[in-house]
Structure 1
Amino acid sequence: MDLEIRHLRVLNAIADAGSITRAAAALGFTQPALTAQLQRIERALGGALFVRDGSGARPTAFGAMVLAHGHGILTAHDDLMRDVRQRGPDDSDLTAVRLGSVPGPLTAVLVTTARQLLPRAEITLHTCDTEEEQLELLATGRLDFGLVVDYPEYELTLRPGLGEALLAVDPVFVLISERHPLAASPEIPLSALSGEPWLAGENKDVRMRAQFRAACRRAGFAPRRVQRLSGSVVFPLVGQGHGVALAHPLVTEREGVVVRPLAGDPMAVRQRVVWAATSPLAEHAPALHDTLTKAYWAEAQRAGVYWEWLEGKGRLPTVAGPSDAE
Structure 2
Amino acid sequence: MELEVRHLRVLCAIADTGSLHKAARQLGLAQPSLSTQLRRIERTLGAQLFVRDRTGCRPTPLGLVVLSRARPLVAEFAAIVTETRAAAARTADGFQLRIGATASRAIPGWLRLLRAREPRIEPTLQMNVSANALLGMVAAGRLDMAFVHEVEGSPLRVPPGLRVRVLVEREPQFVTLAADHPAALHPRVRLADLAGDRWMVDATVDGEWDALARALRAAGLHSEILHGDYLTAYSLAATGEVVTISQPTAHPRPDLTIRPLEGDPIGVRLLLAARTEEELDDAYPALEEAYWTVARDAPAYLAWLDGSQSGQSLSAAPRPDAGPPPSVGASAASS
Please say whether Structure 1 and Structure 2 have the same fold, judged by a TM-score greater than 0.5.
yes
Q: CA deviation at 1:256?
A: 1.1
Q: CA deviation at 1:213?
A: 1.3
Q: How many residues align?
A: 275
State, as a whole percentage, how many aligned pairs show the same letter. 26
What CA distance in whole angstroms lies between the structure 1 residues aligned with 2:54 and 2:264? Answer: 43
What CA distance in whole angstroms lies between the structure 2 residues aligned with 1:290 and 1:182? Answer: 38
For the pair 1:55 / 2:55, whether they are aligned, the reply is yes
Which residue in 2 is equivalent to 1:34?
A: none
Which residue in 2 is equivalent to 1:216?
A: 216
Q: 1:49 to 1:266 in 2, by over 3 A?
A: farther
Q: 1:284 to 1:17 in 2, by over 3 A?
A: closer
What CA distance in whole angstroms lies between the structure 2 residues aligned with 1:295 and 1:252? Answer: 15
What CA distance in whole angstroms lies between the structure 1 residues aligned with 2:205 and 2:11? Answer: 24
Which residue in 2 is equivalent to 1:267?
A: 266
Q: CA deviation at 1:47?
A: 11
What CA distance in whole angstroms lies between the structure 1 residues aligned with 2:32 and 2:233? Answer: 36
Q: Secondary structure at the match of 1:320?
A: coil
What CA distance in whole angstroms lies between the structure 2 residues aligned with 1:309 and 1:48? Answer: 60
Q: 1:78 to 1:111 in 2, by over 3 A?
A: same
What CA distance in whole angstroms lies between the structure 2 residues aligned with 1:251 and 1:104? Answer: 8
What CA distance in whole angstroms lies between the structure 1 residues aligned with 2:249 and 2:106? Answer: 8
Which residue in 2 is equivalent to 1:231?
A: 230
Q: 1:309 to 1:48 in 2, by over 3 A?
A: farther
User: What amino acid maps onto 1:227 in structure 2?
Assistant: L
Q: Give per-residue Cα distances to partners, 1:110-154, cap 9 Å, x unaligned.
A: 433332333222211112241111111111221111102102332
Q: Secondary structure at the match of 2:215?
A: helix
Q: 1:79 to 1:284 in 2, by over 3 A?
A: closer
Which residue in 1 is equivalent to 2:286?
A: 291
What CA distance in whole angstroms lies between the structure 1 residues aligned with 2:270 and 2:246? Answer: 14
Q: Give per-residue Cα distances to partners, 1:192-221, cap 9 Å, x unaligned.
A: 2122111224x5134222221111111111
What is the alpha-carbon root mean square deviation over aligned residues?
Answer: 3.7
Give the number of the structure whose alpha-carbon radius of gyration is greater.
2
For the pair 1:196 / 2:197, whether they are aligned, the reply is yes
* Pick aligned residue for 1:304 from 299, 310, 320: 299
Q: 1:324 to 1:268 in 2, by over 3 A?
A: closer
Q: CA deviation at 1:183?
A: 0.9
Which residue in 2 is equivalent to 1:64?
A: none
Q: 1:54 to 1:160 in 2, by over 3 A?
A: same
Which residue in 2 is equivalent to 1:241?
A: 240
What CA distance in whole angstroms lies between the structure 2 residues aligned with 1:46 and 1:230? Answer: 35
User: What amino acid maps onto 1:119 in structure 2?
Assistant: P
For structure 1, list consecutive stretches of 5 or more residues without a partner in the other structure: 1-9, 25-37, 59-73
Does the 8 A contact of 1:95 with 1:122 survive in 2? yes
Does the 8 A contact of 1:161 with 1:324 survive in 2? no
For the pair 1:252 / 2:248, whether they are aligned, the reply is no
User: What amino acid maps onto 2:116 in structure 1?
Assistant: Q
Q: Secondary structure at the match of 2:189?
A: coil
- Which 10-residue stretch deviates more, 137-146 or 224-233? 224-233
User: What amino acid maps onto 2:331 in structure 1?
Assistant: S
User: What amino acid maps onto 1:243 in structure 2?
Assistant: V
Q: 1:304 to 1:12 in 2, by over 3 A?
A: farther
What CA distance in whole angstroms lies between the structure 2 residues aligned with 1:154 and 1:191? Answer: 24
Q: Give runs of aligned pairs for residues 36-51 of structure 1, distance below 5 A.
A: none
Q: Secondary structure at the match of 2:245?
A: strand
Does the 8 A contact of 2:153 with 2:207 survive in 1? no
Does the 8 A contact of 1:101 with 1:128 survive in 2? yes
Does the 8 A contact of 1:150 with 1:208 survive in 2? no
Q: Give per-residue Cα distances to partners, 1:55-111, cap 9 Å, x unaligned.
A: 3599xxxxxxxxxxxxxxx99987543435579x9x856511000012333333443
In the superposition, the TM-score normalised over structure 2's length comes to 0.70
What CA distance in whole angstroms lies between the structure 2 residues aligned with 1:298 and 1:211? Answer: 27
